[in-house]
Structure 1
Amino acid sequence: MAESMRGMKRTCRCAELSEKNIGEEVTMMGWVQKQRNKGGIIFVDMRDRSGILQVIFEDGEINEADFAKAEKLRSEFVIAVKGKVTARSGAVNENLATGAIELRAEELRVLSESDTPPFPIEADSKTKEELRLKYRYLDLRRPDLQRNLIMRSKVATLIRQFLADEGFLEIETPMLTKSTPEGARDYLVPSRVHPGTFYALPQSPQLFKQLLMCSGYDRYFQLARCFRDEDLRADRQPEFTQVDMELSFVDEDDVMDVNERLLQKLFKEILDVDIELPIQRMTWQEAMDRFGSDKPDLRFGMELKDVSEVVKGCGFGVFTGALENGGSVRGINAKGQGGMPRKKIDALVKFAKDFGAKGLAYLAINEDGTYKSSFAKFMTDDELKALVDAMEGEPGDLLLFAADKNKIVWDVLGNLRLEIAKNLDLLDKNVYKFLWVTEFPEFEYSEEQGRYLAMHHPFTMPFEDDIQYLESNPEKVRARAYDIVLNGTEIGGGSIRIHQDDVQEKMLRALGFTDEKAHEQFGFLLDAFKYGVPPHAGLAYGLDRLVMIMAHEDSIRDVIAFPKIKDASCLMTDAPNVVDDKQLEELSLEIAKSEQEQ
């Protein structure tokens, strides 16, 4: 039978007690982690979000009724205990913050009983994630998840304080807005008042924050909820939180400076890690050539090497064929892996094929200097030596090559490099390697849509020298865009925005917009640009991704209170779900029947 708290006030949280409190009378409240009955004495580990406190119920020190209640305590019962803090009678528990003390109970109230939970409430749970997400309210009691969400709260608070001190204003932008289908798919919300029309949930506050710059607010930020109806990955959710900012009268250096100092403060305050400034910068082209990725992980080497010139006249048709088709031949050197078993090399070949490779050429250098290779028989000794020298190969190394169009070669070797690093345990989560990637291409060509798409978004300023190519040669246009990358994950991205209406019109035409279509989708922004718009720039972080890395987690689900699974559904609430016909009728909607239902 649940009891009342009446007359009791909690003194503090469990792990906020220490040896300084010995001798004090306190009232503590929390959950039972476990109970151990030793006859005349009962040990209970009481847990709250701060940690664990050992409580002692001793027959004779506490009244019989309360001792009888203590005997019946089970995991996840919610209790209130009044008693005295004493030095621990047994050995000190070095693993607990409260390991040198215990609470000698004088009064016990059972505030709530609990059924046996479907899994143990413990750190590093081995329970399947699906079950834990179904009972997420229980999963969130686990100390590791509580630590993550406490960290997330601290990060958000520090960001707000830092940006306020830097002259930023926190301004909210609308959740119900207009669909502008450039990029990921929108989540649509039907309007009851305007039948047949829809709002869209924001993919980002991009247009509104640019309008705030037009309105003279100078420096804006918000922790914005954003929504994208796209396929999910470990670091992606249908709804997420963006640390969004925009600044007027600035260039790239200004934006990077304020954000470098923000990151430096976060990592020092939260993790006591010193981030050396300025953060390294690298152009998109250099990142792709060296690492096969626009978000390179700099915690290890194994850089790509372009050996196209070395092999252009060799007898290996795979290499020469790729070059004749306008591609390249590039390789990576897995130092010291020359003795890798054939089975593991075959697994790497299969891995490479998943990223578009037709195959993967390899050459292992034996300790005696001889080669074991999938292609050596097609090349002369001199050609092989030149190739090994170009790859800086030494006895014991494993050289891996991809030959195809640049995009495929980069994708294959960039991912292969990461896969080998994972297998060799080279990814130290206690090392933080930041990088600014700059000078992205303004456009990327979509074979599916048969047109150019903006690599970032349609409002990114091109380099001044490249504006002339917007309509004649889009592939030559570089964007004044910059991404901030941490340990191989893009944690944020931004750009200098277009503030001249003639450049914006050229940009939209290059993306295939007619003037009429451009005004239909972005008219409110283009109209605002007629009334004096300042040069402006911005950046947005994925808060979830940033905290995920800081917390040493592999999935953003572990730093979000109530995440969705891969199909964007919630196992706990069973969302999305059907609604009743009356609701649909009010929205002037009708669900189309599938062929099987007809």
Structure 2
Amino acid sequence: MAESMQGLKRTHRCGELTAALEGQQVTVMGWVQKNRNKGGLVFVDVRDRSGVIQVVFEEGKTEAGLLEKAAKLRAEYVVAVTGTVEKRSGAVNESLATGEIEIIPEGLRVLSESQTPPFPIEEHTKTREEVRLKYRYLDLRRPDLQRNLMLKSRVMTLTRQFFAEEGFLEVETPMLGKTTPEGARDYLVPSRIHPGCFYGLPQSPQLYKQLLMCAGMDRYIQIARCFRDEDLRADRQPEFTQIDMELSFVDVDDVIEVNERYLSRLFREVLGIEVQLPIRRMTWQEAMDRFGSDKPDLRFGMELTDVSDVVKDCGFGVFTGALDQGGTVRGLNVKGQGAMPRKKIDKLTAFVKDYGAKGLAYVAIQEDGSVKSSFAKFMTEEEMASLIRAMDGEPGDLLLFAADKQKVVWDSLGALRVELGKQLELFDKNAFCFVWITEFPLLEWSEEQNRYVAMHHPFTMPMEEDLPLIDTDPGKVRAKAYDIVLNGNEIGGGSVRIHQDDVQEKMFEVLGFTKEQAYSQFGFLLDAFKYGVPPHAGLAYGLDRLVMLMAGQESIRDVIAFPKVKDASCLMTEAPTPADQKQLEELGLLVKKEEKTADEKSL
């Protein structure tokens, strides 16, 4: 039977007890981690979020009724223990922060009993994630997940402190806003009072924070909840948290400078790691050419090499055919892997096909200098020697090539480089390597929409020197946009915003908006800009992704208390679920059942 606390007060958390408290009476409360009954000696480990403390019930030293009660304790019972802190009579447990002390109990209360959990509450559990997420409230008792959430809380606290000291105001922006079709899909919220109308949950506070600059707030910060109805992956969730900011009367360097100091302080105070300032900068073009990615992992080398000029007149049709179509031929030198089995090379070929490549060509340079290649018969000895020289190939190296449209080659070799980095353990997993990626293209061509779309959003400022190109060659216009990248992950991004009417109108024109369409979607912002808008810029971090990297985790689900799974559902609450018919009627909604085709009915 569970007992009440009856005025009992906790004096310490379990992990806070130290040898300095020897001889003092304390009261701890928590969950039973283990109960080891040795007959007249019962060892009970009590756990809370701070750690574990051992409580020793011993015949002759402990009241008989208390010893009998302790022997019946089971894992996950919630208990309160009052007793005296003593140095351990047995061996010190070096793996525990409290390993040199124990509690000799004088009182024990069972505050709550527990059924046998569906999986052990322990670090680095092997239990399937689906089971853990169904019982997430139990999963969150595990010390490793609790450490992740405590680290996240620390990051949020330090973020607020830092930006408050820098003169930023924390302002909340609405959750129920105007839905906009540009960008990712919105989550829609039907309005009961306005039948047939919908709010959109914010994908970011972008428009509101620009309005706050119009309102003279000068420096804004918010730890903001955001929502995007898009497909999930390891570092993406349908609802997530941004560290969102906007600054007035600034340019690119001002935003970067304050954020470098923020990252430096954050990593120093949370992880004890010094971030070298200034953080390296690299243009988008350089990042793509060297690493095939606008979020390059700089913890290791293995850069892409453009060999288009070297092979343009060779006899290998795959290379020359790609170049004739306006494409490119690039390669990776995988040092020391010339003896890689063909079966493994075939797996790498299958890997790049997921990124649009038709295949991989390879040259394996043997230790004696001889060559094995998938295309050697199409090349003269001179052509092959020139190609190997261009790739800095040496005996024992494996050279891998892709030939296709530039984007396909970048995407496939960029992803292959990262995959090989992981497989061959080419980088220090404990290293943190930052880089700013700057000068992104302002626009990118959408084959689906047959028009240019904004790479970031329609309010990103073009680089002034590229403005003359916006009419003649819009694809070459660079943006005053910047991403902060850590270990191959974009952790934040932002830009200088357009604040001039003529530039904004030109941007909408290039994007294919009529003036009426622009005002239909963004009229409230454009109207606000008529009343004096300061030059402004901003940046937003993905808080969950940042904490994931700081905690050394592979998935953001491990730093979110109650995450969704790949189909955006919650295994614990079973959300989303059908709405009650009365609710639908109040909202003027009718759920249409999907009609099965004749073929489906026959199955």
TM above 0.5: yes
Q: For residue 430 of structure 1, what is the aligned residue in structure 2? A: 430
Deviations 1:75-121 (A, max 9, x none): 00000000000001111000000000000111100000000000000
Displacement of 1:392 in angstroms is 0.5
Counterparts of residues 158-237 of structure 1 (less than 5 Å): 158-237=158-237
Deviations 1:156-204 (A, max 9, x none): 0000000000000000000000001111000000000000000000000
Q: For residue 363 of structure 1, what is the aligned residue in structure 2? A: 363
- How far apart in 1 are the matches of 2:570 and 2:266? 31
One-letter identity of the residue aligned with 1:247:
L
Aligned Cα root-mean-square deviation (Å): 1.0
Task: Describe the SS at the equivalent of 1:568.
Answer: coil
Task: Describe the SS at the equivalent of 1:27.
Answer: strand
One-letter identity of the residue aligned with 1:378:
F
Counterparts of residues 473-492 of structure 1 (less than 5 Å): 473-492=473-492
Task: Describe the SS at the equivalent of 1:220.
Answer: strand
- How far apart in 2 are the matches of 1:364 and 1:404? 21
Q: For residue 539 of structure 1, what is the aligned residue in structure 2? A: 539
Q: For residue 510 of structure 1, what is the aligned residue in structure 2? A: 510
Q: For residue 583 of structure 2, what is the aligned residue in structure 1? A: 583
Q: For residue 47 of structure 1, what is the aligned residue in structure 2? A: 47
- How far apart in 2 are the matches of 1:146 and 1:386? 56
Q: For residue 563 of structure 1, what is the aligned residue in structure 2? A: 563
Q: For residue 493 of structure 2, what is the aligned residue in structure 1? A: 493
Displacement of 1:63 in angstroms is 2.6
Q: TM-score if structure 1 supplies the norm length?
A: 0.99
Task: Describe the SS at the equivalent of 1:445.
Answer: strand
Counterparts of residues 245-284 of structure 1 (less than 5 Å): 245-284=245-284
Q: TM-score if structure 2 supplies the norm length?
A: 0.98
Deviations 1:20-64 (A, max 9, x none): 011110011000001000111100111000111001112233333
Task: Describe the SS at the equivalent of 2:472.
Answer: coil
- How far apart in 1 are the matches of 2:6 and 2:574? 37
Q: For residue 414 of structure 1, what is the aligned residue in structure 2? A: 414
Task: Describe the SS at the equivalent of 2:11.
Answer: coil
Task: Describe the SS at the equivalent of 1:240.
Answer: strand
Q: For residue 309 of structure 1, what is the aligned residue in structure 2? A: 309
Displacement of 1:65 in angstroms is 2.5
- How far apart in 2 are the matches of 1:337 and 1:484? 32
- How far apart in 1 are the matches of 2:106 and 2:12? 17
Task: Describe the SS at the equivalent of 2:468.
Answer: helix
Displacement of 1:448 in angstroms is 1.1
Task: Describe the SS at the equivalent of 2:545.
Answer: helix
Deviations 1:536-577 (A, max 9, x none): 000000000000000000000000000000000000000000
CA contact (8 A) 1:471 1:509 kept: no
Displacement of 1:253 in angstroms is 0.6
Q: For residue 466 of structure 1, what is the aligned residue in structure 2? A: 466
Displacement of 1:451 in angstroms is 1.3
Task: Describe the SS at the equivalent of 1:295.
Answer: coil
- How far apart in 2 are the matches of 1:40 and 1:106? 16
Deviations 1:429-466 (A, max 9, x none): 21011000000001111111111110000100001122
Report whether the alignment pairs 1:116 with 2:109: no
Task: Describe the SS at the equivalent of 1:470.
Answer: helix
Percent of pairs with identical residues = 72
Counterparts of residues 63-78 of structure 1 (less than 5 Å): 63-78=63-78
In the alignment, structure 1 segments of 5+ residues that lack a partner are: none
Displacement of 1:594 in angstroms is 1.3
One-letter identity of the residue aligned with 1:169:
L
- How far apart in 1 are the matches of 2:260 and 2:546? 14
Deviations 1:283-326 (A, max 9, x none): 00000000000000000000000000111111111111111110
- How far apart in 2 are the matches of 1:593 and 1:235? 33
Displacement of 1:426 in angstroms is 2.1
CA contact (8 A) 1:297 1:489 kept: yes
- How far apart in 2 are the matches of 1:480 and 1:324? 33
- How far apart in 1 are the matches of 2:512 and 2:519? 13
CA contact (8 A) 1:213 1:247 kept: yes
Displacement of 1:221 in angstroms is 0.4
Greater shift, 425-434 or 72-81, is seen at: 425-434
Deviations 1:123-153 (A, max 9, x none): 0010000000000000000000000000000
Deviations 1:490-526 (A, max 9, x none): 0000000000011111101111111001000000000
CA contact (8 A) 1:232 1:568 kept: yes
Report whether the alignment pairs 1:56 with 2:66: no
Task: Describe the SS at the equivalent of 1:53.
Answer: strand
Displacement of 1:428 in angstroms is 2.2
Q: How many residues align?
A: 598
- How far apart in 2 are the matches of 1:311 and 1:476? 27
CA contact (8 A) 1:218 1:247 kept: yes
- How far apart in 1 are the matches of 2:427 and 2:388? 27
Q: For residue 10 of structure 2, what is the aligned residue in structure 1? A: 10
- How far apart in 2 are the matches of 1:559 and 1:61? 44
- How far apart in 2 are the matches of 1:422 and 1:490? 18
One-letter identity of the residue aligned with 1:347:
K
Deviations 1:391-438 (A, max 9, x none): 001000000000011000000100000111111112422101100000
CA contact (8 A) 1:168 1:220 kept: yes
Q: For residue 84 of structure 1, what is the aligned residue in structure 2? A: 84
Q: Runs in 1 of length 4+ with deviation above 6 angstroms?
A: none
Deviations 1:340-389 (A, max 9, x none): 11111110111111111111000010000000110111111111111111
- How far apart in 2 are the matches of 1:227 and 1:319? 44
Task: Describe the SS at the equivalent of 2:4.
Answer: coil
CA contact (8 A) 1:66 1:109 kept: no
- How far apart in 1 are the matches of 2:119 and 2:471? 60
Q: For residue 295 of structure 2, what is the aligned residue in structure 1? A: 295
Task: Describe the SS at the equivalent of 1:351.
Answer: helix
Q: For residue 155 of structure 1, what is the aligned residue in structure 2? A: 155
One-letter identity of the residue aligned with 2:42:
I
One-letter identity of the residue aligned with 2:555:
S
- How far apart in 2 are the matches of 1:395 and 1:382? 17
Q: For residue 595 of structure 1, what is the aligned residue in structure 2? A: 595
Q: For residue 239 of structure 1, what is the aligned residue in structure 2? A: 239
CA contact (8 A) 1:353 1:359 kept: yes
Task: Describe the SS at the equivalent of 1:32.
Answer: strand
